[in-house]
A and B are shown apart, each in its own frame.
Chain A
Amino acid sequence: MGSLEQLYDRYKGKAEFFMIYIKEAHPSDGWAMPANEREGISVQDPKTYDARVKIAEKACSVLHIKLPCLVDGMDNGVNKAYAAWPDRVYVVDREGKIAVKAGPGPGGFGQGVEQTHEWLSKL
């Protein structure tokens, strides 16, 4: 049922949306992916929080992400709590409980957007 951006545009009045930048999945100095290099995207795993914030800023602008972007700390605390790496979608309901938990990315990402759409459409 469309992309993440469409979901955001449609439901931003009903729910808060956050993009949370976590540890790089395929940094050039780690598990590099030729597909990224072909797109001209080459990112080294940031070693400081400031460097991480800069990459998050770049990612959110280059990828045209309209969602407000937050940045996980260097302890990867939120990534750990949500088993988020490499990417993942969750919905937290009004009571502060997990309402939707998608499978881990990259396979689970599209399905996560679908599940989120389904859940939000019932609000």
Chain B
Amino acid sequence: MRFKAASLLKSTGMIAMKTSLGVLLTLTLLVVGHAALAQQRFGRQPRDLRMPDTLNVGDAAPDFKLKAKDGSSEVRLSTFKGRRPVVLVFGSFT
């Protein structure tokens, strides 16, 4: 009788252990699956596209020469030096 109880306890314990392992495995799969879906949906993380931020207020503004969107003219930042302040607004469509 005592033996039977011990064996019952043992097997209940085993079931509990198996269940918790099962829950753990399911949770792991859910987390991994969610991360994979998120990766597929959102692509690469954006942080790797940020550039090292080294400019400070008071530093000389890096000069540039860029084309206007219509391609007809070019603008060089340094041509405004000594004349007018320049507001630079960086951005993209999305």
Which residues does A use to contact B, with CB under 8 Å?
4, 7-8, 11, 14-27, 29-33, 36, 41, 43, 53, 55-60, 62-63, 67-73, 77-101, 104-105, 109, 116, 120, 123
Contacts and interface: CB of A to CB of B under 8 A. Distances in A.
Contact of B85 (A33, A85, A91): A91
A31 B51 contact: no
Given A21-B69, A97-B58, A15 B86 contact: yes
> Which DSSP category, helix, strand, loop or mixed, fits chain A's interface?
mixed
Contact of B70 (A8, A57, A88): A57
B67 interface: yes
> Which DSSP category, helix, strand, loop or mixed, fits chain B's interface?
loop
A61 to B, nearest CB: 9
Given A96-B61, A120-B85, A26 B94 contact: yes
B83 A32 contact: no
